[in-house]
Structures are given as structure tokens and as C-alpha cells.
Amino acid sequence: MEPTIVWSLIAGMALTNIIVRATPVAVMSRFELPEALRRWLSYVPVSVMSAMVALEVFKPSDQWRVTLANPYLLAAIPTALVYRFTRSFLGATIAGIGAFLAFRYLLG
């Protein structure tokens, strides 16, 4: 592919990305935010994570899998339990990968 095009693409993407990611931090960290907005923002992480898990588990790779024979869904259960009792993200991630491989093998 034409090098100028590829490098322009990379530069353009790098620029738009940093603008989108840095502007709210740069602007909003300077002011004391109104209570309602802070409250709203405090619910963003739990909502994002729950939405993410729902999509990853029931619609992995953009394919619906609304069935119990779903290794993503089944593997999420031991992952959650391992985190609940060990409080280790890494431990839970590794346990989850192991469980996923096992369920995928068992379910064919």
C-alpha cells in the first residue's frame, strides 16, 4: 500500500484518538463538578462493565448465543466465583481461560 496513505492514516488516527481521550480529562479535572454529574459519572463504570460482560457472554464475536450450552456464559460463572473469593483479577482471568477451554472442549 502507498506509504504516504498509510502514514497519514496512522497520524490521523493517533491525533483523533488523543483528542477524544484527553479533552474530557483536561477540561473536567479542572473544575469541581456538580453533585448530580458526579453521581451520574459514578454509575458509568459498573454500567459499562455489565454491558460489556452481557455482550461478550451472550453475543461473542457479534453472534447471538442465548443458550445454556454456551462456553462463554458457563466460564463466566467460575471466573466470578474465583474473583469473589480471591480478589485477584489475574487469578480470575487465568481461571476463566481454563474454564473456557474446558467448557469449549466438553461442548464440542
Partner 1 sequence: MPETTGSLSPTSASRFLRGVRLGMPVFLGYMPLGMAFGLMAVAAGFTVAQATACSALVIAGAGQYLAIRMIAAGGLATTLIAVGVVNLRYLLFSASIAPHLSGVPPWQQGLLAFTLTDETFAINAADAREGRADRFSMLGVGAISWVGWTLGTLIGSLAGSAIGDPNAWGVGFALPAMFTALLVGQLTGKREYVAAALAAGSALALSLFVQRDWALVAAAIVAATVMTVAP
Q: Which of residues 9-28 bind partner 1 (CB under 8 A)?
A: 9-14, 16-18, 20-28
Nearest to 75 by CA among 41, 48, 44, 101: 101
Least CB distance to partner 1 at residue 24 (A): 4
DSSP at 60: G
Site string for partner 1, 44-73 (x = CB under 8 A): xxxxxxxxxxxxxxxxx-x--------xx-
Nearest to 56 by CA among 93, 91, 81: 93
**Greatest pairwise CA separation for the chain in angstroms:** 55
Joined together, the cell numbers standing for residue 29 give 479535572
3-state helix, strand, coil in the chain (%, to 5): 80, 0, 20
Pick from 34, 63, 89, 108: which binds partner 1 (CB under 8 A)?
89
| Binding-site size, partner 1 (CB under 8 A) | 73
Least CB distance to partner 1 at residue 28 (A): 4
Pick from 70, 82, 106, 108: which binds partner 1 (CB under 8 A)?
82
User: Using the rule CB under 8 A, is 106 a contact of partner 1?
Assistant: no
